[in-house]
Amino acid sequence: MEIQAAVTDGKGAPFAVQAVEVDDLRPDEVLVKVGAAGVCHTDLIVRDQWYPVPLPAVLGHEGAGVVERVGANVAKVAPGDRVGMSFASCGGCPTCMSGRPTYCHDFFARNFGGTRPDGTTALSRGGEPVHSHFFGQSSFATHAVATERNVVKLDDDVPLEVAAPFGCGIQTGAGAILNVMRPPAGTSVAVFGTGTVGMSAIMAAAVAGATTIIGIDLNAARLELARELGATHTINAGEEDAEEAIKAATGGLGADYAIESTGVASVLRTAVDSTAPTGTTGVIGAPALGTEVSLDINGLLVPGRTVRGIVEGDSVPDIFIPRLLELWRQGRFPVDRLMRHYDLDALDEAAHDAEEGRVIKAVVRT
């Protein structure tokens, strides 16, 4: 079967839409006709090879669409079902079996390996392999080959172009708050970076009942929107000292919880230093592999601070994404305000707009 897909041929190469061939489905696979796919920071850093995903590849990992065909063993969805697509996991390792698939023992290979677990790819071009199964989907295309485990059924009233980004960035930011931090009502949350992940965390903190919600960024327009979406305070880190401003906003105590979504090591250090005694910092932003950060050990030890990594918001997508979509329906989680839509053949433009901060969440429609 021939489809149209945005192929990334090499490091830093443009997303070029061209014809590729799709392999036959395996028993656990699902062919999805993609309606929309979000453009995530991770797509861009993989294009630039911060993470060693083999190229050429079709990227895209926030897809939504309609099931066209299913493999012989698939029971969760059927042709005609509307689905969102999220990350891939094995289902059999200790963390998957304990309900924590975001920390699957085979997470990196299944999401960044560019192939099925057996080393084959679902896509080819002129008889030569094109790497597929990026986050179990490779959804920058008219069709995606996903697996039964990483598709989530959607209700008919949810637009695909709204649902698509829930598969990664939105559930990551919201889950960091609602699944991991779980801030009690009346507590304080500082969010470093007000992109899709950070804005989702701000909205989730408001849902959770946090009463001091601080957005930190360098982009004045994003900070203004953060105020509209739930932030009680905003800090332009290019104009004032973020740590001092956070402590001022929290009566000198520091934030009870901090989210670092920028992937900048120096910002992570500031986030940790900005938390109150026994405060927790969640690390979400993804820098290049090998990036290190320097922390004052006594600054962790004496105040009893915690620093922990958070992948995909500790989400079980089949459970968490529908819950977030219900909050969206009720107007309590208006993530569609972050989105701007593009055609698939304008994916490269969408990527550049995202990199330059002209759009928070670019979504391509096929």
Give yes or no: residues 47 and 110 share one domain. yes
Q: Is residue 327 part of a domain?
A: no
pLDDT in tens, the chain (366 residues): 999 999 999 999 999 999 999 999 999 999 999 999 999 999 999 999 999 999 999 999 999 999 999 999 999 999 999 999 999 999 999 999 999 999 999 999 999 999 999 999 999 999 999 999 999 999 999 999 999 999 999 999 999 999 999 999 999 999 999 999 999 999 999 999 999 999 999 999 999 999 999 999 999 999 999 999 999 999 999 999 999 999 999 999 999 999 999 999 999 999 999 999 999 999 999 999 999 999 999 999 999 999 999 999 999 999 999 999 999 999 999 999 999 999 999 999 999 999 999 999 999 999
Q: How many domains does the chain have?
A: 2
Give yes or no: residues 158 and 183 share one domain. no
Give yes or no: residues 11 and 155 share one domain. yes
Give yes or no: residues 153 and 183 share one domain. no
What is the domain-level CATH number for residue 67?
3.90.180.10
What is the domain-level CATH number for residue 251?
3.40.50.720
Give yes or no: residues 75 and 148 share one domain. yes
Q: Contacts for 277-280 with beta carbons within 8 Å, 24 or more apart?
A: 277/253, 277/303, 277/304, 277/305, 278/303, 278/304, 278/305, 278/306, 279/254, 279/255, 279/303, 279/305, 279/306, 280/181, 280/256, 280/305, 280/306, 280/307, 280/308
Q: Is residue 266 part of a domain?
A: yes
Q: Is residue 64 part of a domain?
A: yes
Domain boundaries, position 48: 2-167+334-365
Kindly report whether the global pTM for this prediction surpasses the value 0.85. yes
